[in-house]
Structure 1
Amino acid sequence: MAEPTLSDAPPDPQRLALAWRIAPASLAFILDVRAISRRDRDLIDSLLFATIVSSNVAPLIQDPGLQLTYAGLDSPLPDDARRPVSINAVAQSMRVPFETARRRIRAMARDGLIELTERGAIIPRSVLARPDFIEGVVLRHARVGRFYRELRALGALSPVIGAPPSVNEAPVLVTNRQAWAYILRMADEVITLTGDPMGGLILMEMLQLNIENMDPDELAAWAGAPHVLGRPARTAAFAAALGLSPETTRRYVMSLAEAGFCVRSKAGARAILPPDKRPALERMVLDNLANVQRMFARLGQLGVLAAFDVETPAAAASA
């Protein structure tokens, strides 16, 4: 008989409880960043765009010195330091057909949002310096700060010892890079689970409404019977949040129901998991906890969290 591996071992009950406790705050953070970043483009374009930006600056994220050199709005990464990414790599990352990714990326290139080169796609500094993009960077930075305070209140973060001082200007680009790395990592898990980016996002919106305002005990009970304890979500509510028509949203909800990811009734839809996907739910909430802690540990090591710690109550409340 084979010996059990680490992955076979049951999770630590306290860590699993903590993972469930932070799950609603994490989901709200991901969906808020998605809303901030949507602008006037649809959700798939927004995710493709974010994937290209993250790929362009991937080498930067691995170097703490460069992270702080290119930390503020006045010091973005030069175009010649951005790493181009192929359309095929973007399509594979987002689990969308190559032709879909190529069509959408080329359309964004025609609109001046993306530069296509022989080596791949980049988002140039000139685009990232536009007022609408800067507004999104600042709003996402503030949302990271609020997420940080929420997680500290939930006891999910350990103090970072010996963090160096941060840069003089607000390190908004650092927080944005780390936030997108976290969000795309978790989006990949949801897309892997559902097999479709839009379906995954609709399922997340539905789930947020199903568990809205639940306390930790209610959330733990919900996980055992989501089809009974989830609060029904009407299609119109998450269609509006996603900027989709009710008809388009309804088609996706019907597909999710056929795949076993939700149940529908006159009162609304409740997110569930197909029986063969249930083990993935526990793994995902534990992965989310690890990814959240990794993100804030890196921000702490870069001295970024010090600015959030010293914010005035008024500034923190407005974030």
Structure 2
Amino acid sequence: MVEMLRGGEHVQPPPLAAHWLLVRLSIELILDVADIVRDGGPILDPLYLTAVVEANVAPINQDPVLQQKYGGLNTPPPDELRRPVSINAIAASLGQPFETTRRRLNALAARGECVIGPKGVVVPTARLASEDYRRISTLRYERVQRLYHELKALDALTDMASDAGPTLPGLPEGRLTFDGPPVRLVNRLLSEYYLRALELLGRRVGDPLTGIILLGLGRLNLRGLTPEQRATPSPLPESFRTPARRSELARSLGLPSETVRRRLMDLEARGYCRSGPSGMVFSIDAAVRPEAQRLFHDNNVNLMRMMSRLNRYGVLAYWDGEACP
């Protein structure tokens, strides 16, 4: 099997038989993360903040020593290690207009969620050390841990040694060690994957918000699957899909009904979904297009890259150790 190179790391593409299973797991992961971070509120503001935080900690993400030092829930990186990010860069990464991004970030700054200075935007350490942020970070950590066990059950991680990753320069004995759950380390790697997945999808359908709406429709369509159907390693026929009302989709995502209606009309015009008397369903024709298959492939490689990095940092071994009696 040909290896894919991503970010200086060789990552094995998933086995073809697992392709559709990983796509479904990815949809569930992305939407679960979106639900966790919005915490019952609107979906867009947490997306902006996630993009800011991920850009702020980019220098830490590639440094094993810093990953270990600031990996635990009680060790948020100090402000001096955070790299400010421009409003323009956040707008570009999320596929949003600059003025819209500027207004939203200014509103978030007014609420104390971030700080906008001459060098750019930063989510300060004080915000990341708050009880609310710690709770959300823990839920995200537990969601990735659940994904790991799901992938193990699919035998999708056979090329990763769960007992030890490769040695890491600059660390004692070349390995990360944890005094407790590496919540912040896992959150940083999750944010990288989450934003990359939404960026790839946004390029295909228009922007990340439209992508989330399309994924949300897919999740509602698949809610009636049996465990056997959910484990099918192939596209599921539309007869397996449960139609969803626009209002139901809007409620599930915490979005205004009119926003969802407009985006779905555009997606339907481009063949991504179709409406009927009982509601809307994601179009299987759209899912088997060559461009959709490339998107799914790239997503799956990025998903496995996240798992590879978790293994490299010893997180998978830590989780396996927790599971041992």
Q: TM tier, shorter chain?
A: 0.7 to 0.9
Find the aligned partners of 2:197 and 2:128 in 1 and give their Cα distance.
24
- Contact 1:138–1:172, Cα closer than 8 Å, also in 2: yes
> Map of 1:112-127 to 2, 5 A cutoff?
112-127=112-127
> Map of 1:123-162 to 2, 5 A cutoff?
123-158=123-158, 159-160=160-161, 162=164
1:232-252: CA deviations, max 9, x gaps?
A: 122233222111243442232
Alignment partner of 1:255 out of 241, 253, 266: 266
1:190 paired to 2:201: yes
1:220 paired to 2:234: yes
Letter in 1 for 2:147: F
Q: Report the counterpart of residue 277 of structure 2 in structure 1.
A: 266
Letter in 1 for 2:164: G
- Contact 1:44–1:197, Cα closer than 8 Å, also in 2: no
> Map of 1:69-88 to 2, 5 A cutoff?
69-88=69-88
Letter in 1 for 2:246: T
Higher helix share: 1
What is the TM-score of this pair, normalised by structure 1?
0.87
The 1:152–1:218 alpha-carbon spacing in structure 2 relative to 1, beyond 3 Å, is closer
Find the aligned partners of 1:204 and 1:276 in 2 and give their Cα distance.
12
1:246 paired to 2:244: no
Question: 1:258: how far off?
Answer: 2.2
3-state SS in 1 of match to 2:263: helix
- Contact 1:199–1:252, Cα closer than 8 Å, also in 2: yes
The 1:125–1:252 alpha-carbon spacing in structure 2 relative to 1, beyond 3 Å, is same
1:250-305: CA deviations, max 9, x gaps?
A: 23222221232210111111112787992121112211221121111111111111
Moved more, 50-59 or 189-198: 189-198
Letter in 1 for 2:16: L
Find the aligned partners of 1:39 and 1:13 in 2 and give their Cα distance.
33
Question: 1:229: how far off?
Answer: 5.0
Q: Report the counterpart of residue 110 of structure 1 in structure 2.
A: 110
What is the TM-score of this pair, normalised by structure 2?
0.85
Alignment partner of 2:181 out of 170, 189, 198: 170
> Map of 1:60-99 to 2, 5 A cutoff?
60-99=60-99
Q: Across the two proteins, how many residue pairs are aligned to each other?
A: 301
3-state SS in 2 of match to 1:116: strand
The 1:116–1:148 alpha-carbon spacing in structure 2 relative to 1, beyond 3 Å, is same
Question: 1:65: how far off?
Answer: 1.4
3-state SS in 1 of match to 2:322: coil
Percentage identity across paired residues of the two chains: 38
3-state SS in 2 of match to 1:121: strand
Letter in 2 for 1:262: C
- Contact 1:85–1:119, Cα closer than 8 Å, also in 2: yes
- Contact 2:18–2:233, Cα closer than 8 Å, also in 1: no
Structure 2, gaps ≥5 residues long: 5-11, 166-174
The 1:30–1:275 alpha-carbon spacing in structure 2 relative to 1, beyond 3 Å, is closer
Cα RMSD for the two superposed structures: 2.5
Moved more, 251-260 or 174-183: 251-260
The 1:238–1:276 alpha-carbon spacing in structure 2 relative to 1, beyond 3 Å, is closer
Find the aligned partners of 2:288 and 2:321 in 1 and give their Cα distance.
43
Find the aligned partners of 1:295 and 1:196 in 2 and give their Cα distance.
23
Find the aligned partners of 2:64 and 2:286 in 1 and give their Cα distance.
43
3-state SS in 1 of match to 2:35: helix
Moved more, 32-41 or 66-75: 32-41
1:292 paired to 2:303: yes
Letter in 2 for 1:63: D
Structure 1, gaps ≥5 residues long: 1-5, 7-11, 315-319
Q: Report the counterpart of residue 309 of structure 1 in structure 2.
A: 320
Question: 1:41: how far off?
Answer: 4.5
The 1:274–1:25 alpha-carbon spacing in structure 2 relative to 1, beyond 3 Å, is closer
